[in-house]
Amino acid sequence: METTKNRFGINLKNFNIFTLLSILLIIAGLAHYIYWGIRYSVWVDIGIYSLTIFLVLPGIIGFFLSLMDKKEEKD
Q: Which residue has the higher pLDDT, 13 or 52?
A: 52
Average pLDDT in the chain: 86
Domain extents in the chain: 12-67
pLDDT confidence of residue 71: 74
Q: How does residue 68 score in pLDDT terms, banded at 50, 70 and 90?
A: confident
User: Does the pLDDT value for residue 17 go beyond 50?
Assistant: yes
- pTM recorded for the entire structure: 0.79
Dist. CA 4–CA 34, nearest whole Å: 38
- Exposure letters 10-41 (e unless 16+ CB within 10 A, then b): eeeeeeeeebeebbebbeebeeebeebeeeee
User: Does the pLDDT value for residue 1 go beyond 80?
Assistant: no
User: Does the pLDDT value for residue 4 go beyond 60?
Assistant: no
